């Protein structure tokens, strides 16, 4: 995991973002290319890795990042937890993606009908807390479900979008390594919302140093 490639991929944040959006369009149009999955690619990656994006997403089985963005082996450094709950281990992993692998883009990926957010909303409504260590992701998601920016009629999907936005902000607030890389234009951070049925992604939030002109589908 901690080996980098001898020949790093050189991309700008905008180029990395566009590559993901183009891959998602291939996926949704039914014309995926399934790149970088052959024996030659595996042999190259045995010498080290040089992904162009660090992806932090929900652990939902329907949210396989390499599939929905039509990417291959070694293209993305992926970190996943239920409800993309952010903790110290996740932050350290994201910092490695930026500082160790030099990825020009960090993506926070949420999705509609998120079970972890539903569980957090249920806790708000009924006081019922999931058992065992599951309470940890509820506690991490709770601030988003109680956000003052959400109205009384906020849906689970509204809460997921707010949680995604707040996660981007928390990464920047809590990680000097990542915020410094953003200020130096070495990376950018975006928040995306994935639509399960349609397969499309929606841009929720982005740092000021990236031009997201390549439209994300709403």
Neighbours of 170 (CB within 10 A): 17
CA distance 203 to 79: 19
Two tokens, residue 136: 């940890």
Residue 102, annotated as binding a ligand: no
Residue 58, annotated as binding a ligand: yes
Residue 205, annotated as binding a ligand: no
Nearest 5°: the CA angle 70, 140, 194 is: 25
Helix H or strand E segment including 55: strand 53-58
DSSP string, 76-90: EEEEEEGGG---HHH
Residue 34, annotated as binding a ligand: no
Helix H or strand E segment including 25: helix 13-28
Among residues 89, 73, 102, the alpha carbon closest in space to that of 4 is found at 102
Sequence-distant (≥ 6) Cβ neighbours of residue 106 within 8 angstroms: 53, 54, 55, 56, 94, 97, 98, 171, 178, 187, 188, 189, 190
Among residues 111, 109, 107, 89, the alpha carbon closest in space to that of 51 is found at 107
How far is residue 203 from each of residues 49, 146, 157, 167, 218, measured CA to CA in Å?
27, 22, 14, 14, 8
> Which residues are annotated as part of the binding site?
58, 60, 111, 114
> Which residues are annotated as part of the binding site for Zn(2+)?
58, 60, 111, 114
């Amino acid at each position: 995991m901690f080996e980098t490639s001898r020949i790093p991929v050189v991309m700008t944040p905008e180029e990395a973002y566009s590559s993901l959006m183009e891959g998602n369009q291939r996926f949704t149009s039914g014309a995926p290319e399934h790149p970088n999955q052959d024996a030659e690619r595996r042999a190259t990656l045995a010498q080290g890795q040089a992904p162009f994006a660090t992806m932090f997403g929900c652990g939902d089985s329907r949210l396989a990042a390499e599939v929905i963005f039509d990417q291959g082996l070694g293209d993305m450094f992926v970190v996943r937890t239920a409800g993309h709950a952010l903790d110290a281990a996740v932050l350290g992993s994201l910092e490695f993606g930026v500082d160790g692998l030099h990825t020009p883009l960090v993506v926070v990926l949420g999705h509609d009908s998120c079970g972890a957010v539903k569980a957090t909303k249920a806790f708000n409504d009924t006081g019922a807390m999931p058992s065992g260590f599951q309470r940890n992701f509820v506690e991490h998601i709770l601030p988003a479900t109680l956000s003052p920016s959400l109205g009384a009629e906020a849906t689970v999907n509204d809460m997921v979008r707010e949680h995604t936005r707040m996660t981007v902000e928390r990464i920047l607030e809590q990680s000097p390594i990542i915020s410094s890389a953003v200020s130096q234009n070495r990376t950018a951070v975006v928040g995306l919302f994935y639509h399960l049925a349609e397969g499309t992604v929606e841009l929720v939030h982005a740092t000021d140093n990236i031009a997201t002109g390549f439209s994300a589908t709403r």
